[in-house]
């Protein structure tokens, strides 16, 4: 697709969370090839793909009415998710993480999600004041799986984030290294003099390299990696390191922000990058390195918080995440790599078992709803109103 206006996949303007547009369901096994000339089939493209039930290794569930509104869409596809701690106020202690976990279970009950169908993996929000004792409490709880580093001011609700990692967090980082607690990194510097498109590359140079050097055995996840520099660093760095990749960074380049006008629902942080970076991400996600895995960074905001003078960052993708990822993997001709990326690499890094059960995608068009009602307003999902070529089978 030369020119790459808005990358590959919105192919023919078809795109969705899955309101199926046709019902040509076929039986599925692992990947079922389409017969030549089959109705609606594309030669060489499977008509269905069955994978182990996947996990989302980077997710914003929010709280209150938003949490109630989004939890069902998550649990329909994912068995587990690493739940981000950037609430107001942030989840800075194990006690707050366990309270939040109870509220998630409450939301699951109200949404009729079976309590065993979805497991929230809780995280702490690292601050300048996080102690080694708090890290030990988190580990002992058996319910906290990572500690999130937000450089102060990097994204939504990050005002309480770290101001200087090496000056203030050495005690906490040492405890994390000792106890095997992963550090989940929002990898952007926030200095006003750094171009917003360069923030990740500069972060690697200024923060990641010294951090790796000082704590060589610390488990690190570079969350929502968006650049060729990030991918190269994670693939080749010494020590236990991995990265999550969002569906929107696999499918879109920065042109999507300006397609026909200003498009707030494509605005996220880290921001969409140039096409060369998108291609590097797609190669990493579909390649052989086990260091890359699925993290949607699905980040719901009420419509009014996105469509305004100073709109919030974040793309809401949870309900149609697997359809988006399958579309990206199909564009690279590597649907065979989806299972490793979505189901196996993440558990291997976190030292957790692979899920039981399966999820089947069919090559059946589904339409992304224009918006989704929640108490107090609505959320506009990414690619609202468009049609995607893949659907999650019921
Ligand atoms: Zn995030």
What does the pLDDT look like over 228-285, one tens digit per residue?
A: 999 999 999 999 999 999 999 999 999 999 999 999 999 999 999 999 999 999 999 9
CA of 306 to the centre of ligand 1 (A): 16
pLDDT of residue 155 exceeding 90, the answer is no
Residues whose CB is less than 8 angstroms from the CB of residue 212 and which lie 6 or more positions away in sequence, other chains included: 218, 220, 237, 238, 239, 241
Does the pTM surpass 0.85? The reply is: yes
At 161, the pLDDT band (50, 70, 90 cuts) reads confident
Residue 148: strand, helix, or coil: strand
Percent of the chain with pLDDT over 70: 89
pLDDT of residue 33: 58
pLDDT of residue 74 exceeding 90, the answer is yes
Name the residue with tokens 């079922």: 32
Average pLDDT over residues 108-134: 96
Say how far apart CA 59 and CA 69 lie, in whole Å. Answer: 14
CA dist 328 → 271, 286, 321, 376 (Å):
18, 9, 11, 33
pLDDT of residue 151: 85
pLDDT of residue 19 exceeding 90, the answer is no
Domains of the chain: 55-353 (3.20.20.140)
Dihedral sign from CA coordinates of 42, 43, 45, 50:
positive
CA of 143 to the centre of ligand 1 (A): 20
State the catalytic residue, choosing from 55, 56, 297, 336.
Answer: 297
Residue 197: strand, helix, or coil: helix
CA of 297 to the centre of ligand 1 (A): 5
CA of 45 to the centre of ligand 1 (A): 32
CA of 84 to the centre of ligand 1 (A): 7
pLDDT digits (tens, 9 = 90+) for 188-243: 998 899 999 999 999 999 999 999 999 999 999 999 999 999 999 999 999 999 99
CA of 185 to the centre of ligand 1 (A): 10
CA of 122 to the centre of ligand 1 (A): 14
CA of 58 to the centre of ligand 1 (A): 6
Per the document, the length of the chain is 394
CA of 201 to the centre of ligand 1 (A): 18
pLDDT of residue 45: 82
CA of 188 to the centre of ligand 1 (A): 12
Average pLDDT over residues 121-144: 97
Residue 366: strand, helix, or coil: strand
Phi, psi of 328 (to 5 degrees): -65, -45
pLDDT digits (tens, 9 = 90+) for 338-386: 999 999 999 999 999 999 999 999 999 999 999 999 999 999 999 999 9
pLDDT of residue 31: 66
At 32, the pLDDT band (50, 70, 90 cuts) reads low
Residue 233: strand, helix, or coil: helix
CA of 146 to the centre of ligand 1 (A): 14
Tokens matching residue 88? 């107001």
Mean pLDDT is lowest, of 85-94, 115-124, 151-160, for 151-160
pLDDT of residue 5 exceeding 50, the answer is no
pLDDT of residue 25 exceeding 80, the answer is no
At 30, the pLDDT band (50, 70, 90 cuts) reads low
Does the annotation mark 193 as catalytic?
no
Q: Residue 64: left if φ>0, alpha if ψ -120 to 50, beta else—which one?
A: left
pLDDT of residue 323: 97
């Amino acid at each position: 697709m030369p020119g790459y206006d808005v990358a590959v996949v919105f192919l023919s303007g078809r795109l969705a969370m899955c309101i199926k547009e046709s019902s040509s369901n076929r039986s599925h096994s692992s990947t079922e090839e389409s017969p030549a000339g089959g109705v609606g089939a594309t030669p060489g493209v499977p008509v269905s793909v069955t994978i182990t039930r996947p996990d989302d290794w980077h997710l914003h569930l929010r709280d209150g009415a938003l949490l109630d509104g989004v939890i069902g869409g998550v649990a329909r596809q994912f068995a587990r998710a690493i739940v981000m701690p950037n609430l107001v106020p942030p989840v800075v202690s194990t006690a707050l993480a366990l309270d939040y976990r109870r509220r998630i279970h409450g939301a699951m009950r109200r949404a009729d999600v079976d309590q065993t169908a979805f497991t929230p993996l809780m995280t702490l929000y690292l601050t300048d004041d996080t102690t080694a004792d708090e890290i030990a409490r988190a580990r002992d709880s058996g319910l906290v799986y990572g500690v999130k580093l937000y450089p102060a001011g990097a994204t939504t609700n990050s005002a309480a984030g770290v101001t200087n990692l090496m000056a203030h967090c050495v005690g906490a980082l040492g405890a994390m290294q000792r106890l095997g607690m992963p550090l989940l990194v929002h990898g952007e510097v926030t200095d006003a003099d750094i171009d917003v498109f360069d923030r990740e590359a500069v972060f690697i140079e200024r923060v990641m390299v010294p951090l790796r050097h000082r704590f060589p055995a610390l488990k690190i996840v570079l969350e929502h990696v968006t650049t060729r520099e990030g991918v190269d660093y994670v693939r080749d760095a010494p020590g236990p390191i991995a990265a999550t990749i969002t569906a929107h960074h696999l499918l879109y380049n920065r042109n999507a922000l300006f397609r026909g006008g200003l498009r707030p629902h494509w605005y996220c942080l880290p921001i969409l990058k140039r096409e060369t970076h998108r291609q590097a991400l797609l190669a990493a996600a579909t390649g052989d390195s086990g260091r890359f895995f699925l993290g949607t960074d699905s980040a719901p905001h009420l419509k009014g918080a996105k469509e305004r003078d100073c709109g919030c960052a974040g793309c809401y993708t949870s309900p149609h995440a697997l359809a988006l990822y399958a579309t990206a993997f199909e564009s690279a001709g590597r649907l065979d790599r989806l299972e490793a990326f979505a189901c196996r690499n993440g558990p291997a890094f976190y030292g957790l078992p692979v899920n039981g059960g399966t999820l089947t995608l069919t090559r059946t068009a589904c339409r992304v709803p224009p918006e989704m009602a929640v108490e107090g307003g609505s959320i506009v999902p990414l690619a609202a109103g468009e049609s995607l070529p893949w659907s999650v089978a019921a």
